[in-house]
Amino acid sequence: MIGIPSKLPEVGTTIFTVMSQLAAEHNAVNLGQGFPDFPMSGELTSLVAEAMQNGYNQYAHMNGVPLLRERLAEKAAKLYRASIDPETQITITPGGTYAIYTSLTTVLQPGDEVIVFEPAYDSYIPNIEVNGAIAVRISLQFPSYSIPWEEVRAKITAKTRMIMINTPHNPTGSVLSESDIEELRKTVRDTSILILSDEVYEHLIFDGIRHLSVLRYPDLLERSFVCFSFGKTYHCTGWKLGYCISSPALMKEFRKVHQFNCFSCDTPKQVGIAAYTANEQAYLSLGAFMQEKRDFFRELMKATPFQCIPSHGSYFECYSYGHFSQEPDKDLAARLTREYGVTAIPVSAFYKNAEDNKVLRFCFAKKEATLERAITGLKNFQPV
């Protein structure tokens, strides 16, 4: 055996894999991992099949199919009044997580510091650390999961290279407000600090709230990598396609890393999506569609002892249980799966130090029948 020093010595199997495997073993309703169980658009799959039949099966341009990038620039102009050059500012990527990783790898040097808000999507900190940089962790204020901006400014040092934001937020469903954006602008003004904005749930936003994309703010976009996902928008998470938008200078460096990693992405799917973007209602109606599912699940959960922490976006809603039990959240998530046939994700898994506020995350991006089956089990729940 040849031994090598691990670049990620503290990393094991992700909580999503662990809980999904446990769900399969116990035939549980899996409300853990964030993927829909309802069909995606037949029109979109037909467009992809048509692209294959029409010969779009070889390498796409490294930066992405030109028509798709043009359509995305048009979309950014309509939604966010952003002036984006599809030639120099947009790159298609194999998923949103890849866009995040490549953004970090593009700019981080060993010893750089990156401010990360926890609970955080599980790829953030490993992506930082594999580049030899340091994650400066700040806990969002529980239970609102809001950003403590004074603490952010207190933790900025000469080594601070980047601040990572995520709206709508995974795992909590919180969203950034106008005041958050102003605080961010104030914090980075007259500095060289970069921003990574994870906006993969841009269209999954509820309650009449406006998505405050970094694309709306030229002064922020100049220093930002903004990452998106087609999988979340079009219910095709298994396609693993996304994209990154940045300033021309930053995107030039992003593409240097990208070209020697995946080089280019799935051609027929890009061609199909480019055609499908003409159907604007497919994404403009997504927030209302998913809010109905959130509200349906929220109403069902009233029959259980769990207490809602309101979500305003994403696939997820968090529920607390500290008012009736002090059982560790990882233990409770496993017990719910084994004994009650419902799988959730313990929110402590989104903190590096496993901070346990007695909260579970449930995915409501499911068919109503799936959610009803889950509640059948949760209604029978008995604390230990």
What confidence tens digit (pLDDT) does each residue in 328-339 have?
999 999 999 999
Q: Is 125 a residue whose pLDDT tops 70?
A: yes
Q: Is 359 a residue whose pLDDT tops 90?
A: yes
Reported as a single tens digit per residue, the pLDDT across 136-146 is 999 999 999 99
Higher local confidence (pLDDT), 383 or 371: 371
Cβ neighbour number for residue 249 with a 10 Å cutoff: 12
Q: Are 112 and 92 in contact (CB under 8 A)?
A: no
For the chain, the residue count is: 384
pLDDT at 1: 62
Q: What's the pLDDT band for 159 if we cut at 50, 70, 90?
A: very high
pLDDT at 162: 98
* In the chain, ranges of CATH 3.40.640.10 domains: 58-279
pLDDT at 85: 98
pLDDT at 12: 85
pLDDT at 355: 97
Reported as a single tens digit per residue, the pLDDT across 203-213 is 999 999 999 99
Please, what is the average pLDDT of the chain? 97
pLDDT at 75: 98
CA distance 328 to 145: 20
Q: Is 270 a residue whose pLDDT tops 90?
A: yes
Structure tokens at 124: 């953030």
pLDDT at 2: 81
pLDDT at 377: 93
Answer CATH for 15-40+284-378 from 3.40.50.720, 3.20.20.140, 3.40.50.300, 3.90.1150.10:
3.90.1150.10
Mean pLDDT of 20-41: 94
Reported as a single tens digit per residue, the pLDDT across 185-200 is 999 999 999 999 999 9
Q: What's the pLDDT band for 161 if we cut at 50, 70, 90?
A: very high
Q: Is 128 a residue whose pLDDT tops 70?
A: yes
* In the chain, ranges of CATH 3.90.1150.10 domains: 15-40+284-378
Q: What is the pTM of this model?
A: 0.96
Q: Is 40 a residue whose pLDDT tops 70?
A: yes
pLDDT at 222: 98
pLDDT above 90 covers a percentage of the chain that reads 95
Q: Is 116 a residue whose pLDDT tops 80?
A: yes
pLDDT at 3: 85
If one looks up domain 58-279 in CATH, what number appears?
Answer: 3.40.640.10
Mean pLDDT of 46-60: 98
